[in-house]
Amino acid sequence: MHASDDTEGPRADPHPTRGAGLRPWRVLWAVLALAATLAVVAQPRIEARYLARAGQADTATMRLATEVLRGALERTEALPALIAERPILAQLLRDPENEGLVPFTNELLRQSAFSLDVSDIYVMDLQGRTVATSNYRAEWSFLGQSFAYRPYFTDAISEGLGRFHALGTTSGQRGYFFAAPVIDQTELLGVVAVKITLDRFEETWANSDSTILVTDSSNVVFLSDRADWHFRTLGPVPEPAIETIAENRQYPLEALVPLDARRTPLDAEMDLLTVTGPDGTAEEFIMQTSLIAAPGWRVSILTPTAPAIAQAWTALGIAVLIGAVGVLLAAVALQRRAQLIERIARQHSAQAELEARVRDRTRDLDAANTLLRAEVEERRATETRLRKTQAELVQAGKLAALGQMSAALSHEFNQPLAAVKAYADNADTFLDRGRVAEARDNVGRISVMADRMAAISRHLRNFARRPQDKTGPVPVAAVIDDALELMAPRLKASGAHVDYGPPDPALHVTGGRVRLQQVIVNLISNALDAMEGRAIKQIAITMTGDGETNGTCAITVRDHGPGLSEAALAQAFDPFFTTKDPGKGLGLGLSISYNIIRDFDGTMTVANHPEGGAAFTVTLQRAERPAEARDSGLAAE
């Protein structure tokens, strides 16, 4: 079970393969069974056909034998009458004891028999006693013997012609006898008989494979090339016939034993004859018969069936073999075709499956691809949107910072303006009163204040401007100075103290000057917010990397506020995260700063200072100080 499962395991579907493997065999068996059935059905017909053909082949032989026999009989038939006309016979019959006539006649008959090629010629008187014979020299000479019992004798006397066949009682030869009366002047004197022996015909027949036999009207086999069949009977012998035979001494009665023969008709002209021998072996023949009317003989030729049957079987075998080969070839062809069809089908299905699988995979892939493309697109859009939003937020943050600062700024501007106004008015009064020196002094003060306001205004403009600044070396000291300058009003208003030691003006970092300044402003602003309402208001700005030429520079802005909770530390740089009261800030400042620093390939971190307060650290790459750069001024922007 498991083993078969295992062996068939790799196959997707074992059934088609198994079916394809067995089908041709099944077909083959079916065809073989059909062929066998056909053979069984056809065999008798084929056999009959072969038997008929074999018989036909022997028909001519039979006709020839018949004609030869008939010819011999017909030729002999007239001889007794011709011989009877010889005067010497009458003379002898009138004077049978004549010592001179008998030898002469005997010799005459002997010579006649020789020249006529007949067996014997002999003359009988009216009592049937032989008075002269051609075989006078033989030991078994007919001389003196009586043949009155023979029908030919009586027939010759009564009818003028006698004919008879019989086994010669004297000679032991089978012969045919013709007899004619010897008549002299209407006086019947005797009978002349001519005998021909028939044994010699059998000799010629013996050369053939077939058996020729001659039966008389009593169904006795009189002639045959099979000696053992002589005088056997084929079919019933009528009782009167037996009596006649005995009377005529035609055949020895003890020889008349029926042949164990069975006869079945084969077709209109032929019969099938089965002869069983004394030892029990059966012989089968095709039997054809023709008639020789005068003696009432039937000449039959028996053709052995064995070769014909063998031929029939051979033919059948060949036919079956050819059929089987044909079927085999057909089966092979069919199987090939079936296999081909199956292979094609399998290829088709495999191809279809492959295509389907590819389609499936491709569909998934396509879907994934489309999704991915959509995601990428969305992401790109989001990024663009984010950048735009970020840029907007930077701007918004700046605007928010501006708004936040506006109060302080207006105060910051209004104060010097008020002072300028007052100085100007006073100067006018001083001039009216001739106090020129004091008036000039006031004008000087006005000038200084105008400068101051211009400076504030310039810082503001730089801050508010959209960052077009390129990333490059930025002087840290200048940036922090600017930021502090910008934040000065708020710092002053809040009363916070900034602890800051300016670094070497040569300290440069990689970044954008305006944006870095914005970050520092934001950090200072946040520090101020964090310390609002607290007793100690102190901001420490420190930095590392001062005096070095490479590595990083970390700028830390530390306040003395309450510090940040753990949650706030984690979210400090998230957009819209704020610890401030509503309305005090959007929570964008640190997020924007964070992104700005990241744009500079820097980092921004926040931690609580161990001694209290939050410390924001901006770490940037150190940069070479540009040759043309100066340590101060905003010209670079």
Partner 1 sequence: MTSDASPPGPVLFVDDEADLREAAAQALSLAEIDVRLCASAAEALPHLSAEFPGILVIDIRMPSTDGTALMRAALERDARDCR
Contact footprint for partner 1 (CB under 8 A): 411, 415-416, 418-419, 421-423, 425-426, 429-430, 433, 438, 442, 445, 449, 492-495
CB of 417 to partner 1, least distance (A): 10
φ/ψ of residue 116, rounded to 5: -85, -5
Report the C-alpha gap between 75 and 196 in whole angstroms.
11
Of the two residues 350 and 448, which places its CB atom closer to partner 1 in the complex? 448
Report the C-alpha gap between 397 and 392 in whole angstroms.
8
Of the two residues 134 and 442, which places its CB atom closer to partner 1 in the complex? 442
Helix (H) or strand (E) holding 487, with range, is helix 476-494
CB of 581 to partner 1, least distance (A): 19
| Contact predicate 597/618, CB 8 Å | yes
Separation in Å, CA 486 to CA 237, 412, 467, 479, 480 = 165, 11, 17, 10, 10
CB of 448 to partner 1, least distance (A): 9
With the CA atoms of 513, 514, 517 and 523 taken in that order, what torsion angle do they form, in degrees rounded to the nearest 10? -130
CB of 563 to partner 1, least distance (A): 24
Of the two residues 294 and 418, which places its CB atom closer to partner 1 in the complex? 418
C-alpha R_g of the chain: 78
Q: Which neighbouring-strand residues pair with 623? A: 508
Q: CB-hemisphere CA count at 13 Å for 254?
A: 0
Of the two residues 387 and 411, which places its CB atom closer to partner 1 in the complex? 411
Of the two residues 148 and 443, which places its CB atom closer to partner 1 in the complex? 443
CB of 456 to partner 1, least distance (A): 14
Of the two residues 280 and 495, which places its CB atom closer to partner 1 in the complex? 495
CB of 535 to partner 1, least distance (A): 12
Strands 187-197 and 211-215 come out as: unpaired
Of the two residues 94 and 421, which places its CB atom closer to partner 1 in the complex? 421
Strands 270-276 and 282-292 come out as: antiparallel
Of the two residues 30 and 450, which places its CB atom closer to partner 1 in the complex? 450
Of the two residues 104 and 413, which places its CB atom closer to partner 1 in the complex? 413
Of the two residues 3 and 437, which places its CB atom closer to partner 1 in the complex? 437
Nearest CA-CA partner of 237 in 224, 223, 263, 255? 255
Please report the DSSP string for 308-370 in residue order: HHHHHHHHHHHHHHHHHHHHHHHHHHHHHHHHHHHHHHHHHHHHHHHHHHHHHHHHHHHHHHH
For tokens 């600044």, name the residue: 469
| Contact predicate 424/442, CB 8 Å | yes
Of the two residues 195 and 445, which places its CB atom closer to partner 1 in the complex? 445
Report the C-alpha gap between 581 and 342 in whole angstroms.
83
CB of 423 to partner 1, least distance (A): 5
CB of 415 to partner 1, least distance (A): 5
CB of 485 to partner 1, least distance (A): 17
Q: What is the token pair recorded at 147?
A: 């043949």
Q: How far is CA 386 from the centre of its chain?
A: 61
CB of 616 to partner 1, least distance (A): 24
- CA angle, corner 370, sides to 364 and 374, nearest 5? 145
CB of 408 to partner 1, least distance (A): 8
